[in-house]
Chain A
Amino acid sequence: MSISLWDLRAIGGLPGDSACYEEVIPSARELLATGRGDNDIPVTCSSLSLHSTHYAKMFMASFNLLLPNGYASGFEGRRFTHLLPIVTTESELKFQQTHHVHLV
């Protein structure tokens, strides 16, 4: 037995299905660029929200490539598998090259 995400939701009321939580202080540049339509990805890339958004777009674009890797489908009756979803290395590399990720 162990504590699961659902237990935290049921016991403490903590949401488990929404946007990502992170503790980060936005840079001055990022704050100043807000609302100016700046296409340059700021150091904001430190923001996980942005990362997730890019991953989502990347995933939708390459769904057929990723699907054969064996996502989910681990549930049959009361059985489940322990497969961990892993984004392909090629996709990650492409993502980093395309978006010039800078991490702080």
Chain B
Amino acid sequence: MATVLKPVDAVVIGFGWTGSIMAKTLTDAGLSVVALERGPPQDTAPDFEYPRIIDELRYAVRGETFQPLAKETVTVRHDIGDVASPYRRYGSFIFGNGVGGAGMHWSGQIWRASPEDLRLRSHVEQRYGKRFIPADMTIQDYPVSYEELEPHFDHFEKVCGISGVAGNLRGKLQAGGNPFEGPRSDDYPTKPLPPVYSAQLFEKATSSLGYKPFPMPSANSSGPYTNPYGVRQGPCNMCGFCEFFGCFLYSKASPQTTILPILVNRHNFELRTNAYVTRILLDASGKRAIGVRYVDREGREVDQPADMVVLSAFQMHNVRLLLLSGIGTPYDPKSGKGVVGKNYAYQMSTSSAAFFDEDVQINPFIGAGAAGQRAIDEFNSDHFDHAKHGFIGGSLIVTDATGGRPIGQMWVPPDSPRWGSGWKEAVRKHYLHTATFNSLGSVMSYRDRYLDLDPTYKDSHGLPLLRLTFDWHDNEYKVAAFAVARVQEIIRAMNPRSQFSLFMKPGEKYDTRFYQSTHTTGGAIMGSSPANSVINRYSQSWDVPNLFVMGASAFPQNIGYNPTGLVAGLAYFSAAKIKETYIKSPGALVQA
């Protein structure tokens, strides 16, 4: 029998970026809020203190701050007829754990979506015709526009102290910024950090090819900065320990460094860590959430009644909790009916290395996440004519000097020995003189790519694991081939001794052993009606209007950008509507 606690106004499931944003907004409005986080508490002090945090083996390889997969993971298969196997060891993507969630270990690469990304199906149909979209591709428009999200993108950028240069200020193109971005109402709050050497080479090479390179927007503030909440952040020194690590410099924006200092001591807020939510509780009608059930740190079952539930866990966990709670109709790939689990998507990335002679000092250990990096956006979204290329979507192309860490970031030419003294000699020769570049490509959604509950495997609480059915489609191989060809041209313009690329070729299967991107999306997508989506434009469940579902599970298909900017923009958009309308008169914010 679960212990039933005193009711609160709102309960927040998962305390990463969106959980913090919602808890902040709801407590602003005077609501009593309890946040439940499955992982432990963690903060800059004492958990990310210098120099203990500078430990690649502990954090990036053994993943001390990641969700322990032995307790709960997902199963993965390529196709509908296959038997899925559990993802037992981190590779392809990473789950965060603990306060801050993935917002703690992210790399701070932060983008807005392009305006056309948010109305992708109608844009493609209009420009290239309906037949340009393959029959099994299930992409759809977001039910919200870039213009509507813009003030919220802008606010989040100020909360984070993003460093960057505007490319399009209120419709006027700005020298040095991204000319392809949507119009922004304001510049970034802090200046970009100076380019690392490989980024300087990239600037020169891309400019010579006629592209417009610009500083990659970075959630690492470039100098001391105080955000609109009065929270001060430190400066990035490009220490090289960004993605997978907590930031000891208070620079990388995370809930801890931006929102929590003003939130955690509010009298109408309570955070409970090590609280593992197993179910969203519904009333007899199934149309109203009455609270959540969780297992506390001592293993006791606890019910937290609430008038409103915010589901703000990681994308996959959101979908699983909806399925476990019986909310919405599970997606059926055979009939195409149902929506929960529909349109799972991922990203298609490529990696390339340029090997220079020993007189070119790349010094790859200088860098961090997006700080000091440069990018081009010519080949992303619909920034170029896709007609002759025959695919939808595109890729960002960026420098990738994120730390030159000794275990994971030691590039040697492909003909080097893989171990022993020959390998060591190759490392000695190339480590300081190798520059790396990435493309980060969109992945479209398809009828046969989805999430559901696994029929066999269960977690440590006896609940079915989430099952992931995913493999690449032709469109995405084309995205990768096109992007890597552009990267190779750029590297050639740098005139290195040799270069080498890793990318997926047609026929190669999705392989979970290698890290590609943690940007998994979909499964609880937003749309214009209950027939095509789980949530409406305000991230409100169609089926249970006092439930709001945050995060990248809302993306109908994936974009060629890192998702956090869009995730936060959608969360602030929803939060504003809740504060303005929903709290005064709870109910469906969009009529089905």
Chain B binds chain A? no
Residues of A within 8 A of B (CB): none
Residues of B within 8 A of A (CB): none
